[in-house]
């Protein structure tokens, strides 16, 4: 029998003075604007750089070569972000969330500069991983700051605005990338991050210093961090390389899969016994948080497979230009923004963040399935994009609300890190898995032929591979809809 989580916090009737935030007090519109202006840019940068290079990937592959390994441009960033998300949650709770966000912005800017001067594919991939080390903290600390200053009953109303920024950035990333690549160079996609990161740092430093919630004797669990990084890296390498570098059923495949499972098992065993674990395993013992995290993993796998591979599919399979391929994602953007906004208003009115996501993910699954069956006409892509966006848009505003509400104020950093970790894990696994499916079903000769000379049998083979990937993404999204029904009732 599923349980119910009912969380109520006592809210003082006196608001904090202008420009200052106090725990458990209502947030005025002026205070919210101050917070929004501070964390909007970090959220935008975190989201947009996960998908910015989707439309630029063919152009990068032509300049740097090695199209088969180009999926690691996204996977490398997502992997580093995934590893760092729990660390930032811990650092933010212990040393202050505002200062942790400033540190993340500095690393992100350094990685962007390294990407801008890349001279080879693996140089770019390494620079993207450095960028991800900072990017992993941008979303985590921004969400934690929101939970730090906004009372639970107010969060649905305000969370919708941040959800809109996230989904808008995620899906306009390919649009911006296509426009920049068509008129300038893909290197400008990284150069533009530098002034934005500087502006974001200035705005964040204007916020009051965050409280610290260090526990006596708390350590950083360095071995847990290393085990998590190793297990995640080996698992993603296996998903990326199996099927085209070596067969799924082969000695190298078995060794990599076995190593990933072994490292993961050792990690889980250690984290369960550690006094202050790197992973927030104590939070995951709560059914509402655990099932929400599983749902987020599956949701992100389906969404990012669509966002990352749709522009590549249109350019390589249907000879669309980079700008045109990016613009065809605008209906998805509109659907995501509309879905997040409607969801935020519904949750604010009902106080039930656990309901909309199950229906939204079911709708998104149907849209992805039809995308894999129907021809890639602009009208069809537009209609299905809006539909999928409306469905996926229900997830982001609700997941943070459920986890932060159940976790409590003192664990907001760990709660935000749990959601970010689940989202990054899903995006990494989804991108790697669907990339392996596409590249495993096509030969390198077909890929190069479709990239440089669209048309013919090679292009038809590539189109078939992408269609199968979209159908698989539909199955993953449908599974996410089912896992969302296992989340116990949560009332704000």
Q: Is the full-model pTM beyond 0.85?
A: no
Q: Return all residues near 83 (Cβ < 8 A) that are at least 6 apart.
A: 133, 136, 225, 228, 229, 232
For the stretch 47-104, pLDDT in tens is: 787 677 777 877 787 787 766 667 778 778 877 887 787 778 777 777 777 888 888 9
Q: What pLDDT does 12 receive?
A: 36
Q: Domain-by-domain residue ranges, the chain? A: 28-211+278-491, 222-277
Q: Return all residues near 404 (Cβ < 8 A) that are at least 6 apart.
A: 143, 147, 152, 155, 412, 415, 416
For the stretch 126-167, pLDDT in tens is: 999 899 888 888 877 877 777 666 666 566 666 667 667 776
* Architecture of the CATH domain 28-211+278-491: Up-down Bundle (1.20)
pLDDT-above-70 percentage for the chain: 77
Question: Taking a C-beta distance cutoff of 8 angstroms, is the pair 21, 148 a contact?
Answer: yes
Q: 377 by DSSP, 3-state: which? A: coil
Backbone angles phi, psi at 187, to 5 degrees: -65, -25
Backbone angles phi, psi at 219, to 5 degrees: -110, 175
| Pairwise CA distance, residues 424 & 47, whole Å | 11
Question: Taking a C-beta distance cutoff of 8 angstroms, is the pair 447, 432 a contact?
Answer: no
Q: What pLDDT does 112 receive?
A: 92
List the chain pLDDT tens, one digit each, 492 residues.
445 544 444 333 333 444 444 445 555 667 777 777 777 888 888 878 767 777 787 778 778 776 666 777 877 887 788 778 777 877 777 777 788 888 899 999 999 999 998 888 888 889 998 998 888 888 778 777 776 666 665 666 666 676 677 767 766 777 787 788 878 888 888 898 899 899 989 988 887 776 665 555 556 667 877 888 888 888 877 877 776 677 778 888 889 889 989 988 888 888 777 777 777 677 777 788 888 888 988 998 888 777 777 877 777 766 677 777 777 777 887 788 788 778 877 877 777 776 788 888 999 999 999 988 888 777 888 888 889 888 898 887 777 777 777 776 666 666 766 777 788 778 778 877 787 777 777 766 666 666 666 666 667 777 778 888 888 889 999 999 999 888 877 666
């Amino acid at each position: 029998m599923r349980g119910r989580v009912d969380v109520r916090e006592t809210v003082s009737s006196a608001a904090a003075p202008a420009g200052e935030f106090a725990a458990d007090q209502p947030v005025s519109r002026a205070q919210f604007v101050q917070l929004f202006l501070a964390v909007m840019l970090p959220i935008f940068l975190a989201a947009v750089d996960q998908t910015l290079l989707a439309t630029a990937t063919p152009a990068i592959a032509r300049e740097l070569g090695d199209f088969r390994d180009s999926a690691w441009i996204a996977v490398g960033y997502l992997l580093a972000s995934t590893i760092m998300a729990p660390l930032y949650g811990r650092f933010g709770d212990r040393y202050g969330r505002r200062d942790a966000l400033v540190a993340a912005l500095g690393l992100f800017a350094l990685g962007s500069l390294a990407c801008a001067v890349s001279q080879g594919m693996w140089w770019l991939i390494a620079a993207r991983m450095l960028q991800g080390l900072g990017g992993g903290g941008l979303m985590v600390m921004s969400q934690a700051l929101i939970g730090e200053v906004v009372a639970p009953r107010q969060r649905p109303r305000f969370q919708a605005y941040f959800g809109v920024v996230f989904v808008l950035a995620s899906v306009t990333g390919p649009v911006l990338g296509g426009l920049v690549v068509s008129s300038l160079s893909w290197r400008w996609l990284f150069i533009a991050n530098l002034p934005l990161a500087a502006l974001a740092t200035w705005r964040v430093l204007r916020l009051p210093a965050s409280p610290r919630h260090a526990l006596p004797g708390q350590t950083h669990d360095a071995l847990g961090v290393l085990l998590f990084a190793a297990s995640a890296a080996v698992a993603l390498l296996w998903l990326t390389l199996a099927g085209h570098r070596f067969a799924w059923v082969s000695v190298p495949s078995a060794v990599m899969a076995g190593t990933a499972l072994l490292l993961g098992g050792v990690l889980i065993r250690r984290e369960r016994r550690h006094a202050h674990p790197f992973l927030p395993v104590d939070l995951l013992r709560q059914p509402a948080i655990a099932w929400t995290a599983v749902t987020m993993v599956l949701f992100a796998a389906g969404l990012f497979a669509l966002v990352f591979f749709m522009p590549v599919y249109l350019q390589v399979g249907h000879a669309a230009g980079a700008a045109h391929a990016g613009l065809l994602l605008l209906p998805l953007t509109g659907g995501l923004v509309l879905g997040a906004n409607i969801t935020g208003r519904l949750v604010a009115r009902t106080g039930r963040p656990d309901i909309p996501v199950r229906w939204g993910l079911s709708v998104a699954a149907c849209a992805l399935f039809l995308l894999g069956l129907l021809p890639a006409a602009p009208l069809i892509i537009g209609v299905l994009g809006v539909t999928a966006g409306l469905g996926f848009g229900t997830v982001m505003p609700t997941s943070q609300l459920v986890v932060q509400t159940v976790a409590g104020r003192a664990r907001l950093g760990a709660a935000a890190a749990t959601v970010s970790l689940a989202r990054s894990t899903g995006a990494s696994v989804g991108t790697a898995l669907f990339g392996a499916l596409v590249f495993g079903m096509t030969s390198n000769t077909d890929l190069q032929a479709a990239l440089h000379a669209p048309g013919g049998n090679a292009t038809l083979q590539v189109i078939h591979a992408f269609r199968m990937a979209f159908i698989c993404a539909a199955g993953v999204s449908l599974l996410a809809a089912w896992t969302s029904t296992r989340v116990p009732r949560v009332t704000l």
